[in-house]
Amino acid sequence: MPYMSWRLKVAVLFTSIVVLTHEGRVLRMTGGSAFANNAAPNAAASSTSLASTVAAPRRNEACPEGTLPDGDVCVHLALDESGPELLVAPGAHREKSGAWATYQQIPRLPDRPPSYDAYLYPIPPGLANGAAVVSGYDLDRPDGQQRRGQRLSHVGHGGVDLPQARGTRVSLLRLEHQSGEAEVLYTGPLFGTTVVTRHTLLENGVNRDYVVLFGHLESIAPSVHPGRAMADGEIIGTVGDSGSPGLVHLHYEVRRVRDGVDLRKVAAGPRLIAEDVSIVCDPRNVLPLRPL
Ligand SMILES: [Zn+2]
């Protein structure tokens, strides 16, 4: 019955929002419109964090190449004639022990739309009004605005969480400026049952490798194994809650491989997401835009 299924769907969606909100306090309880509301503060936080994290120049020292003096600091130039330059910025948050955890991260580029609704994802949107993201990238936000688990076991979020029904098929998504097909690097436990793929993006005339995580899967497609090339739209697996019991969603995370790292020499598995191998990146920098 269409009427009943509509009501059931609303109930399921509402449950997803409530449960995931428990996990991440960044969210507001207003459904799809939360993301539109988040857009402005997020943009503000992003630029604040960039401005406040650039290194202050030593006295009488000119700003390094690619930066300009702005008051007491050297500000990185986000854009030039050859296109957007990806910035690496320091980030930090306070862990349960009270210690600061520091890391590098790549915040959203200023020319990329702040709204998560502007992008395509590896699964169909699972929220009301066509929204897909229930919890977004927040490593570029000040410590107090990063997400906190109930026991502070989850601080900060380097990907996007996409709620969908258990068993929904997850497809390989070709990223912007990607050259060639993606390659499966790893399948197995990581963020629950996880598939990690490699994508080479042509940025400002330079090929850069990215690794993409598909986490909390219910299952991995039988044909998906390390070394396999994956074309846009090929099935990776299905949405589940492995490693996040009761929270059925896809964790989708993008990381840029550090310059000089040869992925062929990196052991498949947790090493792929180690700080010295890859830097977490705001996925909006590389996700394809949703057609208008
Ligand atoms: Zn997540």
The DSSP annotation for 124-140 comes to ---SGGG---SB---TT
Q: Give the pLDDT score at 202.
A: 95
Enter the pTM of the model: 0.71
Residues 213 and 273 sit within 8 Å (Cβ to Cβ)? yes
Q: Is pLDDT larger for residue 32 or for residue 140? A: 140
The residue among 213, 206, 212, 185 whose CA lies nearest residue 260 is 206
59 part of a folded domain: no
Considering its fold, how many domains does the chain have in total? 1
Name the 3-class secondary structure at 128. helix
What's the gap in Å between 253 CA and the centre of ligand 1?
8
Dihedral pair phi/psi, residue 114, rounded to 5°: -70, -30
Compute the distance from residue 134 Cα to the ligand 1 centre, in Å: 9
Least confident of 11-25, 36-50, 132-146: 36-50
Write out the two tokens for 66: 């690619």
Question: Residue 245 sits in a domain of what CATH number?
Answer: 2.70.70.10
Distance 292 CA to ligand 1 centre (A): 27
Between the CA of 72 and the centroid of ligand 1 the distance, in Å, is 37
In this prediction, residue 269 carries a pLDDT of: 94
Taking residues 124-147, report their average pLDDT. 89
What is the distance in A from the centroid of ligand 1 to the CA of 149?
11
Neighbour-count burial for 240-275, b at 16+ CB within 10 Å, e otherwise? bbbbbeebbbbbbbbbbbbeeeebeebebeeebbee
Q: Looking at residue 173, what is its pLDDT?
A: 98
Give a yes or no: residue 111 inside a domain.
yes
Give pLDDT tens digits for 224-273: 999 999 999 999 999 999 999 999 999 999 999 999 999 999 999 999 99
- Whether residue 290 lies inside any domain: the answer is no
What domain range includes position 16?
2-54+65-285
Query: How many angstroms is it from 150 CA to the middle of ligand 1?
Result: 15
Give the model confidence (pLDDT) of 170-212 as tens digits: 999 999 999 999 999 999 999 999 999 999 999 989 999 999 9
Say what the pLDDT of residue 86 is. Answer: 58
Residue 101, both tokens = 């955890």
Q: How confident is the model at residue 82 (pLDDT cuts 50, 70, 90)?
A: very low
CA of 81 to the centre of ligand 1 (A): 35
